[in-house]
């Protein structure tokens, strides 16, 4: 599943083509995504796109009457192409612009979403979310206060959206390795000092991944079709059985919260 850096890279790629453009028309070839595409998105017709934002792993295309809200699911891809480009299999939605270009959503597994949010409402999917990790609202003190008395593994804790959004499986493993924290440790048993370091590592890992265009492991590509290059800099993720890059130990793998987790028992405690 595309994680926060991949979604942010998609936003950066499509925003220059969409902002200040009129929504000329919409082509819905398949409404049956994770949730049915609502007819309400037609309220954007004839309206000018004023911004393209990201909240957690959702993209919001803002117009005066509301926002088209997109989620890429497991395998969704967004491309900005000429509107007369013939569709291919799994091209489910076109947002056609006055410029003659269109934003096209391709989603083979149909786990993605296209929703509509009015300015005065917050969709249930966007409610009760924690702070964005790359903002000042997120820091070690926030993690420390949220973690008190929590017995869940610290990796599951930092992947919990009400705690902080967008720290997905890959980046959680990488940040915990950078901070030297064992992902199996109970969240409530991590000190304030170590949470300060962990928050800094989360910010650093995510920022670096965005700079590198995200992480291509299987399905993700940037909006221009290029792969994300952060995969070349992964220190532990996907490296079970290989030597640790920091010590003489071996990278281990364990399922935590139903997700494969990678760590070094010598470096992380």
Per-residue model confidence as pLDDT tens digits over 143-161:
999 999 999 999 999 999 9
> Does the annotation list 109 as a binding residue?
yes
From 110, 184, 208, 259, the catalytic residue: 259
Share of the chain above pLDDT 70, in %: 93
User: Using one digit for the tens of pLDDT, what is the confidence trace for 15-39?
Assistant: 999 999 999 999 999 999 999 999 9
Choice among 3, 8, 132, 174 that is catalytic? 3
Confidence grade of residue 2 (pLDDT, cut at 50, 70, 90) = confident
Query: Which domains does the chain show, CATH number per domain?
Result: 4-126 (3.20.190.10), 140-264 (1.10.8.50)
Q: 216 pLDDT exceeds 70?
A: no
The more confidently predicted of residues 226 and 176 is 176
**Residue 220 pLDDT > 90:** no
Q: What is the pTM of this model?
A: 0.87
Active-site entry in 57, 77, 194, 239? 57
3-class SS string, the chain: CCCHHHHHHHHHHHHHHHCCCEEEEEEECCCECCCECCHHHHHHCCCECCEEEEECCEEEEEECCEEEEEECCCCCEEEEEECCCCCCCCEEEEEEECCCEEEEEECCCCCCEEEEECCCCCCHHHCCCCCCCCCCCCCHHHHHHHHCCCCCEHHHHHCCCCCCCCCCHHHHHHHHHHHCCCCCCEHHHCCHHHHHHHHHHHHHHHHHHHHCCCECCCCCCCCCCCCCEHHHHCCCCCCCCCECCCCCCEEEEEEECCEEEEEECCCCC
Q: What is the pLDDT of residues 79-120, one digit of tens each?
A: 999 999 999 999 999 999 999 999 999 999 999 999 999 999
Do 153 and 146 form a contact (C-beta atoms < 8 A)?
no
What pLDDT sits at residue 227? Answer: 42
- Confidence check: pLDDT of 228 > 50: no
For 15, other C-beta atoms within 10 Å of its C-beta total 18
Each residue's pLDDT tens digit, 245-256? 999 799 999 999
**Mean residue pLDDT across the chain:** 92
Instruction: Tell me the mean pLDDT in the region 177-185.
Output: 98
With 80 as the cut, is the pLDDT of residue 217 above it? no
Q: Does 2 qualify as catalytic in the annotation?
A: yes
Percentage of the residues of the chain whose pLDDT score is greater than 90: 86
Res 17: pLDDT: 97
**What b-and-e string marks burial along 216-227, b requiring 16 or more CB atoms within 10 Å of the CB?**
beebbbbbeeee
Residue 189 annotated as lining a ligand binding site: no
- Residue of higher predicted confidence among 172 and 211: 172
Q: Is the pLDDT of residue 180 over 70?
A: yes
pLDDT of residue 218: 41
Per-residue confidence (pLDDT) for residue 231, from 0 to 100:
58
248 among known catalytic residues:
no
Q: Residue 43 — very low, low, confident or very high, per pLDDT cuts 50/70/90?
A: very high
Supply the pLDDT for residue 230: 47
């Amino acid at each position: 599943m595309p994680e926060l850096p991949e979604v942010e890279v998609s936003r950066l790629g499509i925003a220059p083509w969409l902002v200040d453009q009129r929504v000329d028309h919409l082509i819905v070839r398949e409404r049956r995504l994770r949730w049915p595409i609502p007819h309400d998105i037609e309220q954007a017709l004839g309206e000018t796109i004023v911004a393209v934002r990201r909240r957690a792993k959702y993209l919001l295309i803002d117009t005066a009457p509301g926002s088209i809200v997109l989620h890429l699911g497991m395998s969704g891809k967004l491309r900005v192409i000429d509107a007369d480009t013939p569709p291919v299999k799994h091209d489910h939605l076109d947002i056609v612009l006055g410029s003659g270009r269109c934003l096209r959503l391709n989603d083979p597994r149909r786990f993605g979403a296209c929703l509509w949010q009015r300015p005065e409402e917050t969709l249930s999917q966007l409610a009760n979310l924690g702070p964005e990790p790359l903002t000042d609202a997120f820091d070690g003190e926030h993690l420390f206060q949220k973690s008190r008395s929590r017995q869940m593994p610290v990796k599951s804790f930092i992947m919990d959206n009400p705690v902080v959004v967008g720290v997905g499986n890959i980046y959680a493993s990488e940040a915990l390795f950078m901070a030297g924290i064992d992902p199996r440790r109970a969240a409530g048993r991590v000190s304030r000092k170590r949470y300060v370091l962990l928050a800094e590592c989360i910010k650093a890992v995510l920022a670096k991944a965005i700079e590198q265009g995200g992480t291509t492991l299987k399905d993700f590509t940037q909006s221009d079709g290029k792969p994300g290059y952060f995969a070349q800099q992964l220190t532990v993720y996907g490296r079970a059985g290989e030597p640790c890059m920091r010590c003489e130990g071996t990278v281990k793998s364990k399922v935590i919260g139903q997700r494969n987790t990678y760590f070094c028992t010598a470096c992380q405690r």
